[in-house]
Amino acid sequence: MTASRLFDLLIALLYLTGSVSYPLGLVLRRAVLKKAAVWTSVAAFALHTVDLGVRFVDIGAASLQHGQFYMSLLAWFVVLIFFILWRRLKHDFLAMITAPLALVLFSSSLAVRTQVLAVPEHFSILWFSLHVGTIFVSLGLITMAFGAGVAYLHLEKIIKTKAKMPGFSKDLPSLETFDRANHWAVSVGFPLYTISVMSGFLWASFTWKKIISWDPKELITIVIWIIFAVLFHQRTALGWRGRKPARTAIVLFALCLVSLVGVNFLLPTHHSFRP
């Protein structure tokens, strides 16, 4: 096994440790386990950053054309967004979803062997910074909104039915904290998602000489954008709170998974991750 493979394995093991430690800490109500989960994620993120940097230096701009690099980069952005929300909300509850998803995405990037994506050389830096950077940040925010939405609905159901609260639920933050996480993720995520979509259409006009080609990826992206736009408008303009934005965030996350896995790997598309 090469040194780079051992390095990748160490990163995966750290994400795995975080994935197991946090739920175990919740169930056993051991703060030390939850703290361990967060700090192993910090360590994994630091090594992951080094790994991405080495890959980029090694391959150069060509790395922007490989689906393997994108999967790893998406995992990195998900963890980055978690750290920002952790600092902002003063609570680590989103570690429950962050470490497992980062583990899945990072491990998938090691297994993926894909075709080279079509990126015009003269447009690659602009496309990467606008299209890929903004989409990954917005996907990370949607992930956090999803985690907050699931937790909100779970806690709200317990409160409304006056059911006996399981031990781990007693350590969860308030409904207000979950709602604030959703609001922040949507308020920042939608403008970034819009920038990504617009720059993607610009990239398409350079690459295929037309803005839209009715590609499956383009179609599901438009659907996601419309639902995201409704959520953004309802939250910021009409003051949506609580259950409705929580449920909508869950739907958005599910559609993003369909887009990433179902479309990129299974359907014929310009964005295919298939070999």
The reply to whether 13 and 61 lie within a common domain is yes
pLDDT of 255: 92
DSSP string across 116-142: BP---GGGHHHHIIIIIHHHHHHHHHH
What whole-number distance in Å separates Cα of residue 55 and Cα of residue 263?
A: 26
Q: Does pLDDT of 254 surpass 90? A: yes
The reply to whether 159 and 94 lie within a common domain is no
The reply to whether 141 and 264 lie within a common domain is yes
37-51: string of b/e by CB count within 10 Å (b at 16+)? bbebbeebbebbeeb
The reply to whether 111 and 159 lie within a common domain is no
- Domain boundary residue, one of 96, 115, 134: 115
- Domain boundary residue, one of 115, 143, 178: 115
Most confident of 57-66, 69-78, 121-130: 69-78
Residue 174's nearest CA partner among 197, 143, 146, 152 is 152
Which residue stretches of the chain are H helix? 3-28, 31-59, 67-89, 95-111, 124-127, 133-161, 175-207, 216-236, 243-257, 264-266
pLDDT of 97: 87
pLDDT of 234: 92
Structure tokens at 176: 């207000």
What whole-number distance in Å separates Cα of residue 113 and Cα of residue 67?
A: 8
pLDDT of 32: 87
- Which domain, by its residues, includes 174? 118-275
The reply to whether 245 and 126 lie within a common domain is yes
- Domain boundary residue, one of 87, 115, 143: 115
The reply to whether 104 and 161 lie within a common domain is no
Provide the domain count of the chain: 2
The reply to whether 159 and 66 lie within a common domain is no
The reply to whether 109 and 131 lie within a common domain is no
The reply to whether 267 and 170 lie within a common domain is yes
Give the chain's mean pLDDT.
80
169 versus 23: the higher-pLDDT residue is 23
Confidence class of residue 64 from pLDDT cuts 50, 70 and 90? low
What whole-number distance in Å separates Cα of residue 40 and Cα of residue 105?
A: 17
Give yes or no for a contact between 232 and 241, defined as CB atoms under 8 angstroms apart: no
The reply to whether 271 and 216 lie within a common domain is yes
The reply to whether 105 and 197 lie within a common domain is no
Q: Does pLDDT of 49 surpass 80? A: yes
The reply to whether 63 and 184 lie within a common domain is no
Query: Which of 28-37, 48-57, 156-165 comes out lowest in average pLDDT?
Result: 156-165
